[in-house]
Amino acid sequence: MRRSRDDSYQDAVEKLKTLLDDSNETTRSGTSLREEEGPLSHNSSLSDELSLDEKKSYASPKLEKLILRRISSSSRIGIGRHRSRRFGESIHNNGRDMFKMNKRHNSWHNLIKFNDENEGSHQTRNGEVYDDVVGLVKKQECYIKQLEGETNFSRDKLNKLLLYTKDLLENKNEQDKSFQTPLMEGLKDTDACNEVIMLHHDLKSSTSTFKLENFALKKKVEAIQESEKLKEQSLRKEISVLSESLNHLRSEFDEVTRRESEAVEQVKRSVEVAEQVRLEKTDLEFEIGQLKLQIERQQARIRSLIEEQVIKSEEERNFAEKKYKNQLTQIKEEFQAQVGESSRIISENEKLKNTQNELGKNLEDRDKLIQNLRSENDKRIADLQLEIVSTETRRQKSDQELALLKLDFESVKHDLKSERSRLDSEVRSYKSRISRTEEMLTLSREENLRNVERNATLEREVNLMKLSHEHSTKDNSSNALLESYVKECDSERRTHRLIVERLEELVRRQSRIIGELKSQCNDLTEKLESISKDKLSVSTERDDLRSRLIFLEKKNSESELQLQKFGSEIQSLQDEIDRKDVEMREMEIERNNFLIDQNHLIDNKFIVKKADKRCRRSLALNSSAITIIKKNQTSSPKRDDFSRK
């Protein structure tokens, strides 16, 4: 179907090209200019108008007028007026049918070419296209003038910007030179000198980069001035790039000025900090003098306090010696009692160790049994979990297969419905075309029969006229009339032959189209048969899927029962494990209690040892304190003599 349509469209396009040979150059120039210039694309409807004119030329009613003129010439003669009128009416109706056929958009209707119609339409069409092309060229010239004015304006603007940047750079260099010398002299002793030097180097590098960029900008401007006329559109892009670079330079210049202001502020801050440090230094020196005086006064007070403390320490030493003697007697008595208790505790500890070892052995045996039971339970649980996972995977796979099969079935069903509807619509269209072609065939056959009858009557009349011409003895005027009548009859026969040939061509084309439609109908019937076969296969697959669903549901029910059994077994095993855990906890509590009692005994021993050490340390400290006091008493008169001197 598509190939037949493509062939018919190609034939129609070739015939249209033959009609448009005269106006190809003008239309091509207009379309090329329209494609190149985007904003001047308001004449884009030229090709559409031309195509509409061409369609109108095919649909023009001149064919009717031409046929009716030739028929009217034959109707002037008095012979066979009634038949000629009928023939004229039939051809008039056929001409209207042809006009209606040409108005259609189908490809196989608009295939007739009439050279008599197209000459006048070509002349008017060429004139319209020439006027459109002239208007388009004028608008393009105006657009080019606007572009030239914009380029001149942008060139002047660039020159002004370059002069402004030069002045700014010169002023900046002068300011740097004037600011450099006093700033370096005032910042020799400060820490901000290095930062200012670095900023100066950055300024020099930035000025060099500014100069290089200005030099590059000048080169770009010269290149733009040379290539203005050839590259009008590229000028706007380059101007945008230059404006961005100038904005970038301005931002860098602002950053440099900001850095300079920050450096100046830092210098001011450093000077203020130095002044504050000097003031603080003087304040601290004054405070140090006052503190020295206070220290001397405090030393005198300390000496008096030391003498008082020596007297008090001697009194306390005597009291401490008495108290220490009493404490030693008490400690010795307590120590002897604790030695007896410790011997008793050691014997009990040995007994507890023996019982602990026995309990440890029993616990180890129980631990081994519990571990074995746990390992067996873990193995059983792992096997059950694997079986559960396998059953769940099988179930999921079956569910996925069911879902996929349902989707496939629905998609196939939808495709079948869509194909059936499409095929029904195609069959209807083919039936309507076949009915139309049959009507056209009947009309053409009736016209052929009428033409044959008319040719027979005309031949009969011609023969009668020849016989009358041979046997008549009329005047020369009657002979001239007969000859003119014979010529008119010959011309009518020629016109009838042309019409018959055209009708035969139409009949051939219609027969060819009918053959194509029959082949397409056969293809459709084959497709419908294949679809019915596919439907049967889909129904069988659906039955298989239903049987599979039933089987899988049975398997799922069995697997659920097995899972319930496994769950009951797992719960019983977990109860046993919990019981054994409770027993283990009780054993651990007993063990911890025993260890706590043992730790209490060890702590008591450690406390007794600490008390003995404290008593010995206190005796040593008291003896050392007595010696220090005696030394201080001997050295105090020497210090008084030194302070007096």
What confidence score (pLDDT) does residue 235 get?
A: 65
**Inside any domain, residue 272:** yes
Pairwise pLDDT comparison (41 vs 335), residue with the higher score: 335
Q: Is the dihedral of CA 333, 334, 336, 340 positive or negative?
A: positive
CA distances from 300 to 385, 386, 405, 628, 634 (A): 92, 93, 110, 20, 18
Radius of gyration of the CA atoms of the chain, in A: 63
**Inside any domain, residue 161:** no
What confidence score (pLDDT) does residue 9 get?
A: 53
Pairwise pLDDT comparison (74 vs 611), residue with the higher score: 611
- For 233, the domain range is 172-302
**CA angle at residue 524 from 523 to 527, to 5 degrees?**
90
Using pLDDT thresholds of 50, 70 and 90, give the confidence band for residue 231. Answer: low
Distance CA 331, CA 246 (A): 98
**Inside any domain, residue 65:** no
- Look at residue 530 and tell me whether its pLDDT is greater than 70: yes
What confidence score (pLDDT) does residue 511 get?
A: 72
What confidence score (pLDDT) does residue 85 get?
A: 43
Residues 6+ apart with CB under 8 A from 512: none
Distance CA 7, CA 509 (A): 13
pTM above 0.85, yes or no: no
- Look at residue 498 and tell me whether its pLDDT is greater than 50: yes
Task: Supply 53's token pair.
Answer: 């004119």
**549 neighbors 402 (Cβ within 8 angstroms):** yes
What share of the chain has pLDDT > 90, as a percent?
A: 0
- DSSP annotation of 190 reads S
In one letter, which amino acid is 478?
S
- Of 266, 264, 252, 262, the C-alpha closest to 202 is 252
**Inside any domain, residue 231:** yes
Using pLDDT thresholds of 50, 70 and 90, give the confidence band for residue 540. Answer: confident
pLDDT digits (tens, 9 = 90+) for 16-75: 556 555 444 444 444 443 444 443 333 333 344 334 444 344 334 444 444 444 444 444
Instruction: Annotate 145-157 with DSSP letters as a single string.
Output: HHHHHHHHHHHHH
pLDDT digits (tens, 9 = 90+) for 374-396: 777 677 777 777 877 777 777 78
**451 neighbors 501 (Cβ within 8 angstroms):** no
What confidence score (pLDDT) does residue 119 get?
A: 43
In one letter, which amino acid is 559?
S
- Look at residue 469 and tell me whether its pLDDT is greater than 70: no
Distance CA 259, CA 201 (A): 12
- Look at residue 367 and tell me whether its pLDDT is greater than 50: yes
- Look at residue 326 and tell me whether its pLDDT is greater than 70: yes
Greatest CA span in the chain, whole angstroms? 200
**Inside any domain, residue 278:** yes
- Look at residue 89 and tell me whether its pLDDT is greater than 80: no
E strand or H helix at 511: helix 476-644
**Inside any domain, residue 631:** no
Distance CA 462, CA 492 (A): 12
- Of 140, 138, 155, the C-alpha closest to 228 is 155
**Inside any domain, residue 243:** yes
pLDDT digits (tens, 9 = 90+) for 149-187: 777 776 677 677 677 767 777 776 676 666 555 545 544
What confidence score (pLDDT) does residue 421 get?
A: 81
Half-sphere exposure in the Cβ direction for 287 (13 Å, CA): 6
Q: What average pLDDT does the chain have?
A: 65
What confidence score (pLDDT) does residue 261 get?
A: 77
Distance CA 499, CA 91 (A): 10
How many domains does the structure of the chain reveal?
Answer: 1
Using pLDDT thresholds of 50, 70 and 90, give the confidence band for residue 509. Answer: confident
Residues 6+ apart with CB under 8 A from 525: none
**Inside any domain, residue 430:** no
- Look at residue 286 and tell me whether its pLDDT is greater than 60: yes
